[in-house]
Structure 1
Amino acid sequence: MLPLISLYQSSSLSLRILLNRCHYALAIQHYSSSIRPPIPPFSPSSINKSSNVTQTFDTMLDFRRQQARRTVLIHLGRSHSESELYKLCSRIGQITNMTLYTANKKECALLEFSNEQSVNNLLKITSHFTNENRLPCASRNLYFSSQQTGTRLKYHPIGREVQQPDDSIIDKSLNDIRNVSDQIRFFWQKTKLTELDTRLRFFVSSLVEEAFGSIFVDTVCLPFGSSVNTFGKSRCDLDMLLTFEDFREKNIKRDGKIPQLRFLTKRSYLNDRFQAQAYLKILADTLKHFMAECTNVQIILPARVPIVRFQHRLSDLQCDVSMSEFKSSYYMSKLLWNLSSIDNRVAPLVFAIRRWAREASITQSTPGPWFSNFQMTLLVLFYLQSIEILPKLNYINEQPTTTSPQDILAANVLGDLSDDTILMNELENIRYVQSNKTNNSSLAILLKGFFTFYENYDFQSLLITLLNRKNMSKSSLIQTGKDKDWPIYLENPLVPSMNASKNLVESEGERFRETCKKASEILSHSSKNLLSLFEECHQILPDDLIARAYPAPISIMPDLETDINQDELTTINDIQQDQVFHNTHQQHIVTS
């Protein structure tokens, strides 16, 4: 429930509500507006230098969000003015990093200070345009007008980002690499998110958080999905989740007393979805009218998850902001991040198989009755679990529960762990799992093994699940009444007994197996490599699947030859002539 509702809750807030919200408070506590410094600090450059640095998903988010708040994004009005900009900003405070790049034909600089106070000091000396019709709004999107006519600085520690090449350039480079494992790792290195990509994504999220935080207290905006789970491809969309810190925890921690002074506010909708839609409308208007460089703002409310979509021009990012599904979005990102961190072969293998799936039309860029990238990732992770490179998840209870909600509440009060607490503990424990040293197969062997594993997989009878289930048959879930018989069943790792592949049709399972068989045969030849796999598996989407995904529009116009007789047609013509005469007569009267 969104926080405005809570402002009018009674001081005797029920224990049950507090317990049900416990998981929310635990998950969000890292992301308050007054975030604490992570201990130890996570830095991408320091991970390889010191083995004492403990990297976790939460400390990564903490560090990136702090880094974003110390950062400004500057559009350079004239080329080769970066030295002048660096000199100006270095007078304000210590510069940690300055990176140049080009977006939408604009020269930009992403500049990071060592502390947030330097950003505030820079904004104090920043003025507004005075000769143009612009709204006087302040943000960390800035414009630099160079005034220097002399020589450039001899030395300036400024980096320039080299954009990741497109697939055609990468494919040419793959020809020069003979080893398939090296090809896979090269492909991953050239297509994954760069350091600048990641910094820009957290920066844009911080801008949204800042804009909305000026209206609502304790606003938190987090990137999720491919932007943070290590499986993001360069130039992929930025998905963000807008939420609020659960400030009821703050009230309770104040000696168990609710403060006597409270803010007077408007009441919110009792329906969370309606309230989220109302918030998103405000956000859309704010982005559209007041946020510089945010264009093409669209609000999509009828969707299952309402979103605001916009483009941030200086980062060249297509952005989606939602306000629901915090629990699943955060947990899923953390789960995938933790699994990927166990073994350095996971992410490169996922990237290679996703590219193969796209070439073979197993996946598409739009949703439909085919596999998605997320589902393809689950298939890879399940395969790696089957060969014991990755661990199974152990927070599943396969026994159907008959416990009443009252008994569950009482058990929680007595100290038993709730499902959410068990899940959070499991996600924390995953990162301590050591990579399986006994399975040191190369990426080439793992790639071929993936195709061999699935070319004979019985999708009709068996589940695909990351959970540690003893019974892998689909019938076990159907018999307990947990779900119906789906053609393909990829169990949602966060919501046991929920199918995450309800969109798939039965023919897709068969087409996937046939394509896996073909891929396995290709890689069986020593003369074939990763590029051969992409080229020889290339195919277009079957016509029947296209027809299912994009049905022909139903005509609402009658067939004049069969549905309307001659008398009816004459009547229609007479009516049309009368309308023409009426319109002409009215126009004559107005003209006169």
Structure 2
Amino acid sequence: MSGRTTSGGSCFRGSCARRDTTSGVFHFRGSWARRRTTSGGSSLGGGKRQRPGPAMAAVPDPEPTLEVGSDPLADPDVEALPRSGFRCRLCQVSAANRPSLAEHLRGKKHRRLRSLRAERRAQEQRSLFVSGFARGTSGEELAEYFGAYGDVAAVVMDKEKGAYAIVELRDAAGRERALAETQHDLAGHRLRVRPREQKAFAYGPPGRSPRREPLGPERLEPALWQVADVDAQMSELVRLLELSEDERRVRHLLVTLFQEVFTEFFPGCSVVPFGSSVNGFDIHGCDLDLFLDLEPTKSLQASTRDAPGAGSGAEDSILSDIDLAATPAPEVLELVAAVLRRCVPGVRRVRAVPTARRPVVKFCHKQSGLAGDISVDNRLALLNTRFLQLCAEADERVRPLVYAVRLWAKQQGLAGNPSGGGPLLNNYALTLLVLFFLQTRSPPVLPTVARLRDLAGDDDRVVVGGWDCSFPRDAASLEPSTNTESPCSLLAEFFRVFGDFDFTGQVISLREGRALPLPPPPAPEAGEELKLGPLNLQDPFELNHNVAANVNEKTASRFGRCCRDAAKYCRSLQYRRKSSKGRAWGLTRLFQPGAVEPGAAGAGAFVISIPLDVAGEPQRLCREPGGRGPWFREVCAAIAFVLRDVLKCDCAAGKVLSAPSEESELPRNSALSQEPDAEDSSTAEPLSVGSKRRLAEETNGAALPDGKKPRTNVPEDTANWSCAVWHRVWTGRRRVRRQLRHGDEPEGSDGDSLELEQKVSEAVVRQEGAGRPLEPLLRFEAGARVAGTRRETRVLLRLVPSPTPPGPLFRDFFHFLQSFLPAAVQQRLGQGPAGDPDPRDGGGGGVFSTS
């Protein structure tokens, strides 16, 4: 290793590393190649195991173990992998072949987890969620009260505020007796009693702390319901979502570990965190973004060449073989990836991404579960992070507003790209939208970037890449805002402003604090023009960068429509006033996907809006006689066809929704007396959907069977279904669709999109197994009614899951259905273009490309 290679790129000598000239792989030797720091492993690994719950009666395992000679694929926990092999969803274990899979299914671990899952399901079916009691109420008082309905096994109180409790009875019959009681009172307080939420069983390997995902609305609702008003809800939301002190400490330890390792290879370098971890808008599970500053290392290397006699410590590092200033960026990234892969304890899944807009090296830390990336040329991101920190510190209303808008956008399917890319808004773009909105208030809540540049002192003057990034570093140097609007009012105004905003005809400029006309005036520093699109959001410093350039026209249109719906909801009392009847109110109702329109849904309901082209050409639907009835019947037939034939759900026509309750606002007495034929609804004369049954000669009820009376109170234009979902037809559709399009029938696939979607669902069902499960995955009731005006007619489909509140599985299904169903219904009615890109598809997969 004393000589240099003459070809094949740079090599390394000395005690640290060398590069194979034929394969381009870095090889490390010496102490760092073998080092596994115990401090990093012990400080960042593990985590406290959850304490076991209260003792419960033994529950027999309802799922028998695999018998010898039986088919392992019959196990509902087993899924077939695309390239052979199998995976056990329960144990998160992969098997290469059938014998290995069968051995695993008969093993102790699998049987133990099956038994544990059965016990937890039985426990959930015996438990109640109780709230509304007085503060200071003890578990013994609750146990004594509910003891009248059956033996109480345990009472688990909310440890933080004592706002709710889980009451577990020893048998399910006792729980049903308690639920059958219409009113519960304890010490003068009316209790709210409902079934305990049934959560999906998730196995976490012992000794590991899995990556903590952001809290969903179903876990936020109990806490948000207890506070007094929307302002308090927004403050509570920040407290629940932001990183805890332990999480911040873990990230600090990981940055310290990286700094120690990289200093060994790149003397003088610094590892600086940026982005969501430190910009003031952190959230549980957010990535760890790091910037590896190699400029000091380059300066050190240059000084070493100029003065070789001076001791710099570079002789014993990689710098003895590589000139960082002259090395191409992709090679530097590969070197950083090699250091991460071989010398940082606990780091795995390392890969360089040189093709990204800002090239990075992605990684995952095993012990903490953190995912992150390291960039070597992203100094502007440090300034953007400091700018967001300044805005968060300038006014206490900024953070609650940003957190609320981000979570709302994610629940509406407008934001959230777990794998990066795609046509959805990212958190940075949503944050800039909020900041721009606060700049435009009268009086403004935040100053413009141009005003901040004027306030910057001499020490704050910074130019990066030709861009002027000058602004004060201390929020105390800013003048306090004279705006006195509450966070509740600001959130409502945010939706009103962007609901009517012309995104395609203007550029949102945080530097000027106003919307600029198209095309925007060229920036003197810009080397290239701003990339324009359906939503134009200019970076506050890099003026030729459109932060929302990835957003397509459909997502921008949906964002405006969702803002209008949210603004309408925010004008109602359901938003501003706490419900005294236990209904969803304030932010909890706002965060329900699609259920923000007042009067459209009650608590626990989800609404899908299906726009219809009844005012434009062709106008076949609105020309037919009989008003809305005939074309509404066709729409209902299309909805039933998509659910039953395309998505393979069971849809029972003619069933009335469950018994009336104070939480439901959709009419309960409507019925689908006879489902129109899905294949040819024009040849036969089907019964009118949701309207009075047509009697013989329309005279009397003599033609009805004995005991039947003609309905006289059925509302016009309503229809109800009871549905059951047996298979996860919403997962993996994009991959299956791609396989079908490149398979045996490539031409017929694109000819009829609904026919292709039927084949996709059938393929997904086959992958899950030939047999139908004993119980459906999901059950829900659906009710359709007409809404809107003659200019904008639509059908609202209201879904009520059973049981309530819904679990994550139903929310995933609803997210899929919210995008898939309107396009499929329009396609069935001959109104929607087959090539209209789906907002989750990246613009290239067609109207049904939701995965």
Q: Same fold (TM over 0.5)?
A: yes
Matches within 5 A, 1:3-42: none
Equivalence for 1:266: 321
Matches within 5 A, 1:101-116: 105-106=206-207
Asked if 1:451 corresponds to 2:495, the answer is yes
Distance 1:396 1:435 in 2: 13
Deviation at 1:233, TM superposition (A): 0.4
SS in 1 for 2:362: strand
Deviation at 1:268, TM superposition (A): 3.3
Matches within 5 A, 1:138-149: none
Work out which structure has the larger RCO, using CA pairs closer than 8 Å and 6 or more positions apart in sequence. Answer: 1
| 8 Å CA contact 2:41, 2:345 repeated in 1 | no
Going from structure 1 to structure 2, the CA distance change for 1:208 and 1:541 (only over 3 Å counts) comes to farther
Deviation at 1:211, TM superposition (A): 1.7
SS in 2 for 1:371: coil
Q: TM-score, normalised by structure 1?
A: 0.58
Q: Which of 219, 227, 246 does residue 177 from structure 1 map onto?
A: 227
Instruction: Tell me which moved more, 446-455 or 460-469.
Output: 460-469
Distance 1:451 1:321 in 2: 35
SS in 2 for 1:183: helix
Comparing both structures, which one devotes a greater share of its residues to strand? 2
| 8 Å CA contact 1:359, 1:534 repeated in 2 | yes
Structure 1 gaps, min length 5: 6-68, 81-102, 109-161, 398-415, 563-592
Equivalence for 1:385: 439
1:258-307 CA deviation, whole Å, 9 max, x = no partner?
57437551133735422322322322432xxx443333444444444443
Asked if 1:491 corresponds to 2:546, the answer is no
Equivalence for 1:553: 738
Q: Which of 209, 219, 227 does residue 259 from structure 2 map onto?
A: 209
Distance 2:523 2:214 in 1: 50
Distance 1:539 1:352 in 2: 20
Asked if 1:525 corresponds to 2:578, the answer is no
Distance 2:368 2:547 in 1: 32
- Give the counterpart letter for 1:531 in structure 2: T
- Give the counterpart letter for 1:184 in structure 2: M
SS in 1 for 2:383: helix
Equivalence for 1:502: 549
Going from structure 1 to structure 2, the CA distance change for 1:392 and 1:107 (only over 3 Å counts) comes to same
Deviation at 1:364, TM superposition (A): 2.4
Equivalence for 1:226: 276
SS in 2 for 1:509: helix
Asked if 1:363 corresponds to 2:415, the answer is yes
Q: Which of 26, 39, 43 does residue 73 from structure 1 map onto?
A: 43
- Give the counterpart letter for 1:463 in structure 2: V
Deviation at 1:451, TM superposition (A): 0.6
Going from structure 1 to structure 2, the CA distance change for 1:164 and 1:306 (only over 3 Å counts) comes to closer
Going from structure 1 to structure 2, the CA distance change for 1:164 and 1:280 (only over 3 Å counts) comes to closer
SS in 1 for 2:232: helix
- Give the counterpart letter for 1:370 in structure 2: L
Distance 2:232 2:238 in 1: 10
Distance 2:337 2:365 in 1: 18
Distance 2:610 2:291 in 1: 36
Equivalence for 1:332: 384
| 8 Å CA contact 2:277, 2:289 repeated in 1 | yes
1:47-83 CA deviation, whole Å, 9 max, x = no partner?
xxxxxxxxxxxxxxxxxxxxxx999717689989xxx
Equivalence for 2:341: 285
RMSD: 4.3
Asked if 1:461 corresponds to 2:514, the answer is no
- Give the counterpart letter for 1:376 in structure 2: L
1:212-233 CA deviation, whole Å, 9 max, x = no partner?
2222211321221000001110
Asked if 1:313 corresponds to 2:354, the answer is no
- Give the counterpart letter for 2:738 in structure 1: P
Going from structure 1 to structure 2, the CA distance change for 1:305 and 1:105 (only over 3 Å counts) comes to farther
1:418-474 CA deviation, whole Å, 9 max, x = no partner?
5779845424366621330x2121110111010111111111222112102677212
- Give the counterpart letter for 2:424 in structure 1: W
SS in 2 for 1:170: helix
Distance 1:170 1:443 in 2: 19
Equivalence for 1:146: none
Distance 2:746 2:338 in 1: 49
> How many pairs are equivalent?
393
Structure 2 gaps, min length 5: 1-9, 11-38, 51-203, 454-460, 576-585, 597-605, 612-730, 749-851
Distance 1:273 1:451 in 2: 43
SS in 1 for 2:516: coil
| 8 Å CA contact 2:273, 2:290 repeated in 1 | yes
Distance 1:312 1:418 in 2: 34
- Give the counterpart letter for 2:529 in structure 1: K
Asked if 1:235 corresponds to 2:279, the answer is no
Comparing both structures, which one devotes a greater share of its residues to helix? 1
Distance 1:170 1:380 in 2: 22
| 8 Å CA contact 1:298, 1:309 repeated in 2 | yes
| 8 Å CA contact 1:360, 1:540 repeated in 2 | no
Going from structure 1 to structure 2, the CA distance change for 1:347 and 1:309 (only over 3 Å counts) comes to same
SS in 2 for 1:328: helix
Asked if 1:200 corresponds to 2:250, the answer is yes
Q: Percent of aligned positions with the same letter in both sequences?
A: 23
1:387-437 CA deviation, whole Å, 9 max, x = no partner?
11001011899xxxxxxxxxxxxxxxxxx985779845424366621330x
Bigger CA radius of gyration: 2
Going from structure 1 to structure 2, the CA distance change for 1:204 and 1:321 (only over 3 Å counts) comes to same
| 8 Å CA contact 1:339, 1:431 repeated in 2 | no
SS in 2 for 1:464: strand
Distance 2:610 2:298 in 1: 54
| 8 Å CA contact 1:193, 1:234 repeated in 2 | yes
SS in 2 for 1:274: helix
Equivalence for 2:376: 323
| 8 Å CA contact 1:164, 1:191 repeated in 2 | yes
| 8 Å CA contact 2:330, 2:354 repeated in 1 | no
Distance 2:735 2:417 in 1: 14
Deviation at 1:496, TM superposition (A): 1.5
Equivalence for 1:475: 519
Deviation at 1:377, TM superposition (A): 0.7
Deviation at 1:498, TM superposition (A): 2.5
Going from structure 1 to structure 2, the CA distance change for 1:439 and 1:278 (only over 3 Å counts) comes to same
Distance 2:350 2:515 in 1: 48
Instruction: Tell me which moved more, 215-224 or 422-431.
Output: 422-431
Deviation at 1:479, TM superposition (A): 11
SS in 1 for 2:471: helix
1:547-585 CA deviation, whole Å, 9 max, x = no partner?
9x99953855676999xxxxxxxxxxxxxxxxxxxxxxx
- Give the counterpart letter for 2:43 in structure 1: L
Equivalence for 1:432: 477
- Give the counterpart letter for 2:330 in structure 1: F
Distance 1:439 1:396 in 2: 18
SS in 1 for 2:236: helix
Distance 2:221 2:491 in 1: 18
Equivalence for 1:18: none
Q: TM-score, normalised by structure 2?
A: 0.41
SS in 2 for 1:336: helix
